[in-house]
Amino acid sequence: MSDLAYERKEVILRVADLSLAINGRKVLRDINFEVKDIVRPGCTQGQVLALLGPSGIGKTQLLRMLAGLQRPSTGTVTVTDKAIPVHPGMIGMVTQSYTLFGWRTVLGNLMTAARQAGLPTREAREKSLDLLRQFHLEPCRHLYPAQLSGGQRQRVAIAQQVLSGGHYLLMDEPFSGLDMLEEENVCKLIVGVSCADDLNTIIVVTHDVRAAATVADTILMLGQVRSADGKLLPGATICEKYDLIERNLAWHEQITTRPEFYDLMRELRAKFVSLAGP
């Protein structure tokens, strides 16, 4: 049980009966979950959901459907309790390749995102500079993407999506290729962005079990399941949900020093291993 008071209120994102087949091969099946607005008295609390699963299982495809960039074979993705169907541009996505405009500087990339979100030039510049400070990118402001390290490029890509407006942010493998310190920084950034507004909702796809457990309030595990007679069903689905709030593992400083955190990591690893070799 959580020792922090909270309530789950309106639906922010709902995924219903989603499935995807590519070239006649079922990749994902029966995906159902919802993210609700978490309300905590006295603080601004966003939502962070982590999606774990073996390589090639369909995590990127699922994110693309959540962002409206890939049409599902069946099912729907809707936002808010008014069930508005998702459409491209509504939900920001930081891809595995951190897409930036190569011919624009770091500041130029951020200002373009802010201008596209409708901010006038002066405000776009101020907000971009503010985020550059927050993301420790000020020294890089006049550099071009090709002149950045992987970690720096990734922070620019996150800042760009934050500026693009909206409350939703999908991140595909945000921890890959980062050193320990950079990983900690990105974890802090994710928590910081999620807590900037009650409605902010971040979905992180990762193989990094430790980072997922550090930032998320909920973890979903994607994998293939077997039918009652032991046959492997085609397509992956959500085979486990971990509520870190109820386990009292969300929103605490220094969470990684608690023994329960390591119990959870062991549990996640065991599940992951059981999925990795069907």
Ligand X SMILES: Nc1ncnc2c1ncn2[C@@H]1O[C@H](COP(=O)(O)OP(=O)(O)OP(=O)(O)O)[C@@H](O)[C@H]1O
Which does residue 46 bind out of Mg ion, ligand X, none, counting CB within 5 to 8 angstroms by kind? Answer: none
List interacting residues with Mg ion (CB under 5 A): 59-60
Which does residue 22 bind out of ligand X, Mg ion, none, counting CB within 5 to 8 angstroms by kind? Answer: ligand X
Nearer to ligand X, 45 or 224 (CB): 224
Q: Find the shortest distance in angstroms from Cβ 222 to ligand X.
A: 7
Nearer to ligand X, 57 or 215 (CB): 57
Give me 122's structure tokens: 């002066």
Q: Are strands 92-94 and 47-52 parallel, antiparallel or unpaired?
A: unpaired
d(CA 75, CA 86) in angstroms, rounded, equals 12
d(CA 228, CA 177) in angstroms, rounded, equals 40
Phi, psi of 107 (to 5 degrees): -60, -40
Give the residue at shortest CB distance from Mg ion.
60
Nearer to ligand X, 12 or 27 (CB): 27
Residues 19-78 that bind ligand X (CB under 6 A): 22-23, 27, 53, 55-61
Q: Is residue 120 a contact residue for ligand X (CB under 6 A)?
A: no
Nearer to Mg ion, 137 or 171 (CB): 171
HSE-CB at 161 with a 13 A cutoff on CA atoms is: 30
Which does residue 51 bind out of ligand X, Mg ion, none, counting CB within 5 to 8 angstroms by kind? Answer: none
Three-class SS state of 19: strand
Nearer to ligand X, 52 or 119 (CB): 52
HSE-CB at 264 with a 13 A cutoff on CA atoms is: 28
Nearer to ligand X, 53 or 72 (CB): 53
Q: Find the shortest distance in angstroms from Cβ 85 to Mg ion.
A: 24
Binding footprint of ligand X, residue count (CB under 6 A): 11
Which does residue 27 bind out of Mg ion, ligand X, none, counting CB within 5 to 8 angstroms by kind? Answer: ligand X
Give me 61's structure tokens: 């495809």
Per DSSP, 146 falls in state G
d(CA 257, CA 37) in angstroms, rounded, equals 28
Q: Find the shortest distance in angstroms from Cβ 36 to ligand X.
A: 25
Which does residue 254 bind out of Mg ion, ligand X, none, counting CB within 5 to 8 angstroms by kind? Answer: none
Nearer to ligand X, 49 or 57 (CB): 57
d(CA 98, CA 120) in angstroms, rounded, equals 25
Which does residue 155 bind out of Mg ion, ligand X, none, counting CB within 5 to 8 angstroms by kind? Answer: none
- Of 88, 105, 50, which is closest to residue 244 (Cα–Cα)? 50
Phi, psi of 264 (to 5 degrees): -65, -45
- Contact criterion met (CB below 8 Å) for 57 and 235: no
For ligand X, the binding residues (CB under 6 A) are 22-23, 27, 53, 55-61
